[in-house]
Amino acid sequence: MKNWVILFVKAGAEEQVLHTLKRTLDPSEYLPFIPLKEAPYIKRGIVTKVRKRLFLGYVFIQSPINADLIAGKLQQAITDVVRHRDIRSILHYGADKKDVVLREKERRYWERLFDDDFCITGSVGFFEGDRIFITSGALVGMEGSIRRLDLHKRQAFVELEVMGAVREIRLMLEIIKKTDQKPPA
């Protein structure tokens, strides 16, 4: 399913909207999902991983429907079939309300981050001097997108593009080693 569309929904109602969409929309045309992320949960010094929503107030939909037709068909489906008061709008680029499909570059970027359950898994890395190297997880090769770190909370603040706007999100990053040695030039 090559086209992705994002619904803006009432914060806290994402799960309810997701279940309504899955129950009422044609699964051959629409695959709704809520993007997730792994986050550290620390209790009594023991760290476990939990899954949380990546964004509050958004439900994503994958669809094979042609980009020129999807805005109208999805709006019609939401209005006629779903009739859900918690769906606020379909996100779009600029003033054109029919330009709702995520750009291919953005979609591929997101597909690279997600696992099969649309979850961004935690990453592991290390410092060498003042450079960070990610060795496993969703952030491998994306060191340049990391804007800052909170080592105590095991989080990386990463800039990602969503519908043309840059947003900062927190992703799990565990630093396993820190050396003062500078890498060779």
DSSP structure class, residue 51: E
3-state secondary structure of 33: strand
pLDDT at 184 over 60: no
Partners of 42 in beta bridges: 47
> 173 falls in which pLDDT band (50, 70, 90)?
very high
Residue 5's pLDDT band (cuts 50, 70, 90): very high
What pLDDT, in 10s, does the model give residues 64-82? 998 888 888 888 877 766 6
- Tens digits of residue pLDDT in 12-64: 999 999 998 998 888 999 999 999 999 988 888 888 889 999 999 999 999 99
Q: Is the pTM of this model over 0.75?
A: yes
d(CA 133, CA 131): 7
For residues 68 and 42, the answer to whether their CB atoms sit within 8 Å is: no
| Domains of the chain as residue ranges with CATH | 1-102 (3.30.70.940), 122-185 (no CATH)
> Which of 147 and 182 is assigned the larger pLDDT?
147
Side by side, which strands form the sheet with 36-43? 46-53, 36-43, 119-120
DSSP element (H, E) containing 24: helix 14-24
178 has a pLDDT exceeding 80: no
Kindly tell me the sign of the dihedral angle through the C-alpha atoms of 144, 145, 150, 154: negative
Write down the mean pLDDT value for the chain: 87
